[in-house]
Amino acid sequence: MDYACDFLVIGSGIAGLSFALKAARHGTVAVVTKKDRLETSTNYAQGGIASVLGPDDSFQLHLQDTLNAGDGLCHPDVVENVVRSGPDRIRELIELGVQFNPNSTGGAPFDLGREGGHSRNRIIHAQDMTGQAVEKALVAAAEANTNIQIYENWLALDLIVEEHSIRAGSIAVGQESTCRGAYILDSAGGEIHNFLASAVLLCTGGTGKIYLYTSNPDVATGDGVAIAYRAGAKLANLEFVQFHPTCLYHPQAKNFLISEAVRGEGGRLIDRRGRAFMEEYHPLKDLAFRDVVARAIDTEMKKSGDDCVFLDITHLDAEFVKNRFPNIYQKCLSFGIDITKDPIPVVPAAHYMCGGVVTDRHGQTSLKRLYAIGECACTGLHGANRLASNSLLEAMVFAHEAALHCTQHLEQWRKQRVPEVPRWSSSAVPNGNNAQSEMVLIAHNWDIIRRLMWNYVGIVRTDKRLALARNHMEQIRHEIKEHMPYIRVNNDLVELQNLALVAELIIRCAIRRKESRGLHYNLDHPAKDDLNCRHDTILQYQAEDFLYAALDWKKVLCVAL
């Protein structure tokens, strides 16, 4: 079936829904989301949102902390715009009914937490479930809006792109691509729809599932980055994968984060013998930047051979801990850990992708009418390392900018003719027992990729490990190319394709960066090289790129105008 709307939003987290609510004042919005509408990374965000709200704070300080974290690669104009817009965006959330913790001691109206790399307390939060409070408020507002339609269990496969020549007089001087919609799989019905739109917004979140250990929910398979790459959009900085220092280490705990806010309130990292080790690594100790803390834990674990380190907040008042961190307290208790009495076993895990689809200050990608917002985007805010709690802020600010930009162009876009789009064809694929039995290939390759990335492309890298990772990925890609066409398109297959592609692109970026900077640490190039390497790592699909052609089970539609 064919569908059409003004704005097609792919993803239902803070980026997608913030955009949808603003754009819906001007046109119709379809939000497609591959699982339940609440199943987003936003919903699991614990810490909060960084913004200049306290009397001792300033935009200049927030800007400087963000630049320091980004280690020379932030785009200062973007940082300035984001930090200055923060208070307005927070006010909008309050108007939607988000209940942030009030300040009980006077001064700022809200309780402001501290996290690594911040020189002031500036994290507004709803206990330790900020993301959930924000997500619920946004979903409720979207559901009440008659211009917004949410499609659950709909998975975007690829973009519908038109290509046409750019001419100087009668001479073609280049090609220009315009996004006109997307192919969407209705996972329940199995049908693939053509969804046309005046503009498409990629708001698909992160890439954490590429790694064996991650704080991210299962949906974080890099879909937006892969989709944009296949369509020819520019990507950048995929080597900068942020590992959160403290995820709960317990055999039954899947992806559970212990918020940095715990260290912000005085929690200390200790080893099995009770030694507080962070003072040996950085003057800011437990509140150093995340890359520093994650590497310190990695070093300690490798030195001692221990499976984890511990985060200790037993010295804080037990009632305070239970009230400030009710979610963490309950979750740990369910595993037999009383955090008011016992140190919490923790390990680092993949948490946030700082690179992504390159955008300008409006969230616009290198393809016309395609926007990327939130974790799947690379806006220039984070540089080589994201400052804690800047991500929800970035999503809101760019949703705002993109909505302003899109709605200014909407009338003009509406006037353009609707393209003829061929249907997605996968009917040649058998749907019998054979096809189903090959599903083991998906599970196997998924597992191999995640282990490979964890072991060879993790917190500490070397040239040799990266080269080995690249070779292994070639074999995996070969297997996918040989066998996957015989499996009917389904969520697991699509996610594996995306995961494999983005893993490969991360390796490519990491190999290109011959230095250590921010989150990218390579033992063979341990120093920062400002002279040669202080720039973004840009990637773009090229027709002659045979390696990646192998991953395209469906070619992006190109309609010559």
Stretch that binds ligand SIN, among 372-380, 388-396, 411-419, 441-449 (CB under 6 A): 388-396
* Long-range residue pairs from 57-64, CB within 8 A, at least 24 positions apart, any chain: 57/120, 57/121, 57/122, 59/83, 59/84, 61/119, 61/120, 62/86, 62/120, 62/122, 64/119
CA distance 516 to 29: 43
Cβ 47 to ligand SIN shortest distance, Å: 3
Q: State which residue, 261 or 487, has the beta carbon closest to ligand SIN.
A: 261
Stretch that binds ligand SIN, among 254-262, 334-342, 459-467, 522-530 (CB under 6 A): 254-262
Q: Please report whether residue 261 would count as binding ligand SIN according to CB under 6 A.
A: yes
Return the ∠ at Cα 395 (arms to 392 and 397), rounded to 5°.
Answer: 110
Number of residues lying near ligand SIN (CB under 6 A):
9
Stretch that binds ligand SIN, among 257-265, 276-284, 466-474, 551-559 (CB under 6 A): 257-265
- 388, 396, 505, 507: residue in contact with ligand SIN (rule CB under 6 A): 388
Q: For the CA atoms of 112, 349, 484, 223, what is the dihedral angle to 10 degrees? A: 20
- 43, 101, 216, 259: residue in contact with ligand SIN (rule CB under 6 A): 259
Tell me which residue of 230, 231, 228 sits closest to 202, measured CA to CA. Answer: 228
Active-site residue, 290 included: yes
Tell me which residue of 402, 410, 480, 417 sits closest to 164, measured CA to CA. Answer: 417
Distances (CA, A) of 22 to 15, 158, 533: 11, 25, 39
Q: Please report whether residue 101 would count as binding ligand SIN according to CB under 6 A.
A: no
Q: How far apart are the first and last CA of the chain?
A: 24
Q: State which residue, 154 or 249, has the beta carbon closest to ligand SIN.
A: 249
Cβ pair 326, 352 in contact under 8 A: no
Q: State which residue, 85 or 215, has the beta carbon closest to ligand SIN.
A: 215
Q: State which residue, 114 or 180, has the beta carbon closest to ligand SIN.
A: 114
Tell me which residue of 108, 140, 113 sits closest to 127, measured CA to CA. Answer: 113
Residue nearest to ligand SIN (CB): 47
Stretch that binds ligand SIN, among 233-241, 253-261, 280-288, 313-321 (CB under 6 A): 253-261
Q: State which residue, 250 or 382, has the beta carbon closest to ligand SIN.
A: 382
Cβ 45 to ligand SIN shortest distance, Å: 6
In the numeric block, which tokens belong to residue 264? 């912000």
Q: Please report whether residue 221 would count as binding ligand SIN according to CB under 6 A.
A: no
Q: Please report whether residue 353 would count as binding ligand SIN according to CB under 6 A.
A: no
Mention every residue, 6+ apart, whose C-beta is less than 8 A from residue 299.
Answer: none
Return the ∠ at Cα 191 (arms to 2 and 6), rounded to 5°.
Answer: 30
Q: State which residue, 41 or 497, has the beta carbon closest to ligand SIN.
A: 41
- Contact code string over 42-71 relative to ligand SIN, x by CB under 6 A: ----xx------------------------
Q: State which residue, 44 or 371, has the beta carbon closest to ligand SIN.
A: 44
Cβ 100 to ligand SIN shortest distance, Å: 15
% helix / strand / coil in the chain, to the nearest 5?
A: 40, 20, 40
From the list 263, 268, 290, 369, the catalytic residue is 290
The gap from C-alpha 520 to its chain's centroid, in whole angstroms, comes to 17
- Among all residues, which ones are annotated catalytic? 290
The residues binding ligand SIN (CB under 6 A) are 46-47, 259-261, 352, 388-389, 391
